[in-house]
Amino acid sequence: MTRDSLLILQSVDRRERRGVMAALDHAQCLVWFDALGRVVDGNPNAQDLLSYDLDNLKSCTHAALTGETDVDSPRYLTHWARIRDGELRNEERSVLTRNGTEVWSSISYAAIRNDAGKTRRVLAIIIDLSPWSWRPKDLK
């Protein structure tokens, strides 16, 4: 393969990756966290689901959005460390809107790493399951 052919393939690959990201951004609720669990960005779908504008969303943490009250507990610290360290995690849990309403969701986490392998960001893909989910509170 020639150098020019390789450059063309790399260019096509980059365009396809940008296209995949654009499709995800259009169709899903995406929230990006730093390695410490602070929100650094959220797409318009996430802002709508959580009833936050971007500036207010950026003032949140993972724990605040998921209603974690004991952020120093071994369970929570281990959970976030696994996410931060690149373990693909998926969970069904409620996330909290700005006004405190619970939205039952499926959340998938993926660490985004730099060239040295250090986690720069964590992407959370949030799917609103509330229209289709039974929750224990439904019994009340």
pLDDT above 70 covers a percentage of the chain that reads: 86
Q: What does pLDDT average to over the chain?
A: 87
Q: Is the pLDDT of residue 85 over 50?
A: yes
Residues ≥6 apart with Cβ < 8 Å to 52: 42, 60, 97, 98
Give per-residue pLDDT as tens, 9-51. 566 677 887 887 787 878 899 999 999 999 999 999 999 999 9
Helix %, strand %, coil % for the chain, to 5? 40, 30, 30
Query: For 111-128, what is the mean pLDDT?
Result: 92
Distance, CA of 109 to CA of 20 (rounded, Å): 17
Query: For 87-103, what is the mean pLDDT?
Result: 92
Pick the CATH number of 29-139 from 3.40.640.10, 3.40.50.2000, 3.30.450.20, 3.40.980.10: 3.30.450.20
Can you give the pTM of this predicted structure? 0.82
Residue ranges covered by each domain of the chain: 29-139
Q: Is 55 exposed, middle or buried (0-12, 13-18, 19+ CB in 10 A)?
A: exposed
Q: Is the pLDDT of residue 122 over 50?
A: yes
How confident is residue 140, by pLDDT bands cut at 50, 70 and 90? very low
